[in-house]
Structure 1
Amino acid sequence: MSGAVTTPAVHMPWPVTSPFRMRPGLSRLGAAADPVPDLFLRDARAAAYADHKRRVLDAVPARGLIGEADPAVLQAIADAYAAQTGVALAPDARALAEGLQEDFVVLHDEVDGMRTHCLSVCFPSNWDPAEKLGLDFGAIHAPVADNALLQAGGRGIVDMAFRQARMLRHVWLLTPNGDLAQHPETRRTRWADAVAAADVAGGRLIDQVFFRVERQTTLPLPALRRGVFFIRILVAPLAEVLAVAPERAAELCEALRSMSEAVVDNRGMTAVRERLCAELRPS
């Protein structure tokens, strides 16, 4: 159902910094420092993304499209997409789910804050979209390890990103497979499998690893008392991403070493962190 649709390494964002901290990391979309100042990211792999989304939606609809979005919100998404890309998509949830390379989440501005009312998430990064329906920012991020900075800034993040301005954020992960869809209930290559494959081949674990980035953008719709959160998944083999710039291996090693035990455990990397760091900075 899923599988690897990789982005060329030279086009992958590199948001790796150290010390590693779970922080908001928001910037205004279109700021001078943004290499890609667009709400959406459409590229040559659009058809492959659509095919993989279609498979998810056909096989397990409850995973890929949850809740309902107002027609006016769907129209606003379609209009924004057409304005940027020149591609017209029908303003209904299924057409947008397949047509956008991004997944999206619609939030309603209610008395007690903004809550999710519709999630079109075909490519989750090891989380279950069904568990996020009806939740506010704090509840959504409650399971995230070392989430104090995120939670402390929650009210300001929501106000800025979903009521005032289009915003951008990148989140990076290391995964032992290149699948776009990484639902926790789906059997995929696990870290133990990647270690075994590396040992059998007599090679490096980092050659079995993928660099995964969530490019997150927001679309405030204050006139509708709504906001939309977009998640664009980009994946490439880690070794290829590291080869783009010689300093990246050391930067990644420092970031991994600075992660708390809680973050490492949350990402399932407790058994592999030291080996990865040893391969990134061999003595």
Structure 2
Amino acid sequence: MHALTPAAHMPWPVASPFRMRPGLSRLVPVAEAATPPPLFLRDAQAPAYAAQKQAVLHTQHERALVGQAEPAVLQAIAAAYAAQTGVALAPTAQALAMGLQEDMVVLHDELGAMRTRWLSVCFPSNWSPAEKLGLDFTAIHAPVADNALLQAGGKGIVDMAFRQASMLRHVWLLTPSGDLPQHPETRRTRWEDAEAQANASGQRLLEQVFFRVERQTTLPLPALRRGVFFIRVMVCPLLHVLHAGPTRACELHAALASMSDAVVAYRGMTGVRPRLLRELAAFAGL
């Protein structure tokens, strides 16, 4: 069962040349009359997200909830959520995991390093929450391809986002699966499956692809020497997203073409990038 976000509500953070970069912005008004972007997103998909989280927590509880949650931190998260959305959730790990559409990671400020001590992640994008427990920023991002910009800015990113002010970042992916939960140990549609389906049906590979965005926000809790990292995953069929903007196919083609081979391999698209580029070029009339 998918929980797809309508294309009109999907962020479009695609830019070229593609670089693995921090891309952080503050969650503050851009003008006096402007409303700042929210820390949390709550929309009509909330019941579908809750149902999917319930399924994950029922079958993969130990994979999704990792580490120890502190009552004071849970209370702070529940209070922030209620203040923004008007929805009161019990300040327990289970209630927050189910009630927020976001996943969350709690970091402890220990001797100058922020380390992950509790993760509630039902919808990972092909990474294992258990493998991130106890790690700092540098270690978390060590496996990421072309991570030089991220690692160079690591100390400043942590200071800003987890000790000073709430921040916002978007990360986008192309995936052959429309599932929200994509744990690496869970069987799901792979790129080779999508290609086989496209070939068997005579369709374009683009018709088998989903656009996946992680909307990442942070909540500093300096009085508790803690910080919280929220991940709201949104998924939509790629063709729906491309049709939502006249230049999007060109922009995606340019971004995909500019990705280094290391990044393409890291995202598992080495075998399909040439075909995706050809189909995007035809779609855009390039």
* TM-score for both structures, normalised by structure 2: 0.96
Q: Report the CA distance shift for 1:36/1:49 in structure 2 as closer, same or farther (over 3 A).
A: farther
Aligned to 1:131: 131
- 1:265 and 1:92 map into 2 onto residues whose CA distance is 39
- 2:206 and 2:12 map into 1 onto residues whose CA distance is 17
| Secondary structure at 1:115 match in 2 | strand
- 1:191 and 1:111 map into 2 onto residues whose CA distance is 43
Partners of 1:30 and 1:38 within 8 A in 2: no
- 1:31 and 1:231 map into 2 onto residues whose CA distance is 21
| Secondary structure at 1:181 match in 2 | coil
- 2:50 and 2:36 map into 1 onto residues whose CA distance is 21
Aligned to 1:76: 76
Superposed displacement of residue 58, structure 1: 1.1
- 2:278 and 2:36 map into 1 onto residues whose CA distance is 33
| Secondary structure at 2:262 match in 1 | helix
State the aligned residue count.
Answer: 281
Deviation string 1:73-125 (CA, Å, 9 cap, x unpaired) is 10000000000000000001110000000000000000040000000000000
| Secondary structure at 2:114 match in 1 | strand
Partners of 2:30 and 2:36 within 8 A in 1: no
1:241 correspondence with 2:241: yes
210-219 vs 104-113, which moves further: 104-113
Superposed displacement of residue 246, structure 1: 1.1
241-250 vs 31-40, which moves further: 31-40
Deviation string 1:121-156 (CA, Å, 9 cap, x unpaired) is 000000000000000000000000000000000000
Aligned to 2:163: 163
Partners of 2:29 and 2:36 within 8 A in 1: no
- 1:132 and 1:111 map into 2 onto residues whose CA distance is 19
Aligned to 1:273: 273
| Equivalent residues in 2 for 1:45-124, closer than 5 Å | 45-124=45-124
Runs of 4+ in 1 over 3 A off after TM superposition: 33-36
Q: Report the CA distance shift for 1:35/1:147 in structure 2 as closer, same or farther (over 3 A).
A: farther
| Equivalent residues in 2 for 1:82-231, closer than 5 Å | 82-231=82-231
Superposed displacement of residue 69, structure 1: 1.8
* TM-score for both structures, normalised by structure 1: 0.97
1:28 correspondence with 2:26: yes
Superposed displacement of residue 60, structure 1: 1.5
| Secondary structure at 2:223 match in 1 | helix
- 1:256 and 1:99 map into 2 onto residues whose CA distance is 35
Q: Report the CA distance shift for 1:30/1:112 in structure 2 as closer, same or farther (over 3 A).
A: closer
Superposed displacement of residue 30, structure 1: 2.9
- 2:36 and 2:54 map into 1 onto residues whose CA distance is 27
- 1:139 and 1:166 map into 2 onto residues whose CA distance is 22
Question: Structure 2 regions of 5+ residues with no counterpart?
Answer: none
| Secondary structure at 1:232 match in 2 | strand
- 2:107 and 2:263 map into 1 onto residues whose CA distance is 27
- 2:30 and 2:270 map into 1 onto residues whose CA distance is 38
Q: Which amino acid aligns with 2:98?
A: E
Question: Structure 1 regions of 5+ residues with no counterpart?
Answer: none
- 1:20 and 1:65 map into 2 onto residues whose CA distance is 33
- 2:101 and 2:15 map into 1 onto residues whose CA distance is 26
